[in-house]
Each structure stands twice: as C-alpha cells, then as structure tokens.
A = this chain, B = another copy of it.
Amino acid sequence: MKAFEFLRENNHDGLTVVLDKGLPPKFVEDYLKVCGDYIDFVKFGWGTSAVIDRDVVKEKINYYKDWDIKVYPGGTLFEYAYAKDKFEEFLNECHNLKFDAVEISDGSSDIPLEDRKKAIEKAKDFGFTVLTEVGKKMPEKDKKLTICDRINLINFDLNSGADYVIIEGRESGKGIGLYDGEGKVKESELEELARRVNVKKVIFEAPQKSQQVFFILKFGNSVNLANIAFDDVISLETLRRGLRGDTFNKISPISNNTQ
C-alpha cells in the first residue's frame, strides 16, 4: 500500500523507460523498492553493457525482472556488433544474459532499409521484444532528417514487426530529433507526427522535466516516455498524477488524447 492512499487517482498506462548508464547492482535492488512499480523498460545505455562484468549485468537484469521490468542494451551496441558482422553472436549473448528486448537503430551508422527490416525480424524470431529508434546521434546528421522521413521510418519499423519505436532525444534532450537547441519541442513537427502514426506505439525520449511536462499536457498522462534518469522516475510519476506543481490540477483521469 502506498502512503497517503486516500489521495490516489489519475492512474495511467503510459510506459516509462529508464536510462541505466551503469548503476551499481545493490543500489538497483534498493532503488526498485522505491520506484519499481513505475518502470516498464530499462535501457543499459549505448555500449555500457560491454564494459561491465557479465555477472554484474546478469545480477542487475535479475533485480529488474523481479519487478517485471524488461531490460535491453542500447542500440549503439547493436550497431557496433552489426558493423562487425556479429549480429548473430550479439543476439545469442543477449539471450544468454537474459535480456528481454533489443533495440534496432541506425543512430551512429547507416543500415539499408531492407537490412533493418531483416534485423527486426531476426530479433523477433529470437523471441525478443523489439524496440527501434529513429534519429541520428550527431546533430549535423540528424537535422537532415525531415519530419516526413521520421514518420515514414516509424511506420516502416512498425510494419516490419517492431513493438515500439523510440524517438531519439539523447541523454541531453537538446538539438536533436523533435527538440531545438534549448530542448524545446518543435510543436508543428510533433503534431504532424501525431496525425500520421499511432502514438501508443511511439516512445518519446524526454530526459528533461520540461519535456516530460510538455508531453503529459499534450497527450495525457499515459504518454510513453524514455531516457528518464533513474532519479527522476518518482518525479515523473508525480507529474503523471498531478502531484507536482507543473501538472497540479491539469491532469484529468483517463486523460489520454493519444488515440
């Protein structure tokens, strides 16, 4: 039972995806007692998994599993393996380490669409939940993508079997994807996107509080958000429930205008 149970309302079914960039194992076990209920996926950011002991990686995945949280390595690790022609070994290692999901992306490399499709299908065949990511890591490359390019790729990935598509925002949330240099959302682009894709299948990387507030007020408290820092999970949950100043009195129960 939660404290102050009599104030409980504004339930939601928005996905929360946390960025774990190398948390210590016992700390993870401890921290899930506070916020394990509010996390759906954890990404071991970019290639961080590959510099950490196997035993520690497995121990952490186990703690997350205890709370029904799905864990996956960052897309950059997939790209790194793929570029070295070790996709099969990558999937086997993900399986052995007990990852539940994988991310297929092309943020740091170029992968033809046909190969992207095959990668998604192969990962699904292995039994993984598949998330893909749309966007480039380097701002100068990313800004060449029009909103139409992004929309087309989102729908391509979903049609190829991806379970969810993540919109790139990086750890900073600035000058990338749907964000301008200060981290403000480009609203007209977002609206175009919302008209042409199924927003329930999209997860927005929104590392900054102002961005989380924006998406919640725009799409309702069930909007899917990613790249949440581990120490912001509780804050995000209070934002979704109207328990923080920024969304106080602005959340309507079942306020999901994403459909």
Contact = CB atoms under 8 A, between A and B. Distances in A.
Interface of A: 1-8, 21-27, 30-31, 33-35, 38, 45-54, 56-57, 73, 76-77, 79-81, 83-84, 86, 89-90, 93, 97, 107-109, 137-138, 170-171, 209, 231, 233-235, 237-238, 241-246, 248-249
A138 B245 contact: yes
Contact of A248 (B76, B86, B90): B76
A46 B3 contact: no
A252 B9 CA distance: 52
A137 B53 contact: no
A62 to B, nearest CB: 14
A39 to B, nearest CB: 12
A57 B7 contact: no
Contacts of A80: 7, 242-243, 248
Contact of A76 (B5, B86, B244): B244
Given A22-B235, A234-B52, A47 B243 contact: yes
A38 B25 CA distance: 17
A245 B90 contact: no
B33 A3 contact: no
Given A1-B54, A21-B234, A47-B244, 7 more contacts: A2-B52, A3-B53, A4-B50, A24-B31, A27-B27, A45-B235, A109-B249
B238 A1 contact: no
Contacts of A34: 22-25, 52-53, 56
B235 A77 contact: no
A53 B237 CA distance: 13
Given A47-B244, A243-B77, A244-B76, A27 B33 contact: no
Contacts of A46: 238, 243-245
A50 B6 CA distance: 9
B3 A97 contact: yes
